[in-house]
Chain A
């Protein structure tokens, strides 16, 4: 059975601190996406990781992909309150169908 697990499920952190969210998936995939969802809102694409060893950075967020370990990480540097949201990872399956299987989500709460 295909599983995508995120760790932690809930993260409360102080502004200025660093932390990493982990995404483990059970079945090999060579592509993975990270999304952000604010309460009651849609999903916003953050990163597209298309190969083993891919690393992308945008502002205080950095994502990486290790396809051999079936692991992706989302690193938060010097967190600010505006980063509070739920973050989802989603490896892609089904080749051309680009079927994204979403992880369990990580609710991030950054405290001032």
Chain B
């Protein structure tokens, strides 16, 4: 049983297109996150939702829009893709009130041509 699963694992697309990444967790956690890892392995937080409420919204272009239909799901939609959006996007979940660690998905590698 995969605890945090992301789909798709790979996306290759042209500049200007729109794409979505989906994330689901079966750990019963109340908080989910999106992180971006660039080519130099630097990890940057983008968004976080707690029980469907947006609680972290870092300085991210508004072409990126997260949505959380319920606390087990967090999706990321990206409009008008740019070359600089190429990265690995990681979804994670945690049970915040227990100060627990984040559990990460396997990542979605996005390549913009």
B-contacting residues of A (Cβ < 8 Å)?
31, 33, 37, 41-45, 48, 50, 86, 88, 92, 94, 96-102, 104-105, 107
Chain B residues in 8 Å Cβ range of A31: 99
Report Cα–Cα, A98/B92, bound state, in Å.
12
Question: Which of B41, B56, B94, B105 is most buried by chain A, counting CB atoms within 10 A of its CB?
Answer: B41
Number of B interface residues, CB 8 Å?
Answer: 25
CB <8 Å contact, B41 and A105: yes
CB <8 Å contact, B99 and A102: no
A10 CB → nearest B CB, Å? 11
- The B74-110 residues at the A interface (CB cut-off 8 A) are 90, 92, 94, 96-97, 99-107
B31 within 8 A of A: yes
Report Cα–Cα, A31/B102, bound state, in Å.
13
CB <8 Å contact, A50 and B45: no
CB <8 Å contact, B48 and A97: yes
Can you add 10 more A-B contacts, CB < 8 Å, to A31-B99, A105-B42? Answer: A42-B105, A43-B104, A44-B104, A48-B99, A97-B31, A97-B50, A98-B100, A98-B102, A100-B102, A102-B42
Query: Which of these, A45, A86, A107, contacts B101 with CB under 8 Å?
Result: A45
B55 within 8 A of A: yes
B113 within 8 A of A: no
Chain B residues in 8 Å Cβ range of A33: 101-102
Report Cα–Cα, A92/B100, bound state, in Å.
11
